[in-house]
Amino acid sequence: MDQQAIRAQLPTLVAGHVPRNIRTFKYRVFDGEPKRSSMGFFVDPQPFDGTVIATTESAIVIKTGRADFAVVDRSIVTQQPADGDKVHVQPYARRRFDGQRADTPEERTETWNGTSYSVKTIVLGSATAKLPIPTPQCPELQSLVEQLEELPAPDGYRRVTHLLVDAGARDFTWEDPQPDDIIKTPPEISFSVATGKFEGRVTVIYERGDDLYAVELHRGEELVERVDELFFDSLGEVLERLIDDGTWRQIRLEVLSVPTRARRQKVPA
């Protein structure tokens, strides 16, 4: 989407949709690119509702307030609306394995003087997705968990665990061996995914002898692919190549209602 061209067209496109007593209008652009706050943190946009007022070759212009508009890239929406349609738009937001947004405040229960109370915590700029497995006892498995949760994905916006969430990772299993069994039973994390690139089991294995990692893809009993001798900072790149089909970048658009295109003509009495 050519933002410079859209910026030049917008005054004409919105002219008939801004109240006469308002001289300026605001707009936001949703083109699949991550946004940053004034403090430099990545920000996950909120979903919104509005009415489509114009459609160009590359953009959909949606009125969201009296003088507020959204410009959405047509090439990445899941549905193409018509002018006048009321729509619900959900831009991509990083999520946790439980389906909640990754920027949702974390809630915990604490007790003081015999009374229990809930505490909500949010860290600015933090949008982690914790793996749904218990805290490992094996130091090597613990390091693997931390690396998947903290390392950035190749897009620089998500972390590796966000990549796994977007790939539909589920049914997690793991090996958490005792120190004496680390060669016989290597630490590993395994999960199922279903994407346009691969559907089956993915296993990330720590190889103690080389102090490196391996990634295996299984479909049933068949070993589809194995990538060996991976440094920890290569895990995101390899997992993206193997299982990330890019559909997470799409902007979900749902048509809520359509206008009455034509009024029924009254029949003379």
| pLDDT tens string 145-159 | 999 999 999 999 999
Structural domain spans, the chain: 3-92+250-257, 127-247
What is the pLDDT, as a whole number, of residue 269?
43
What is the pLDDT, as a whole number, of residue 38?
77
What is the pLDDT, as a whole number, of residue 22?
87
Closest CA relative to residue 29, chosen from 62, 66, 54, 65? 62
What is the pLDDT, as a whole number, of residue 263?
44
DSSP string, 31-87: SS--EE-TTS-EEPPPPEEEEEEEE-SSEEEEE-SSSEEEEEEGGGBSS---TT-EE
Domain 3-92+250-257 has CATH 2.30.130.30: no
| pLDDT tens string 74-127 | 999 999 999 999 999 999 999 999 999 998 877 777 777 778 777 766 655 568
Query: Which residues of the chain fall short of a pLDDT of 50?
Result: 262-269
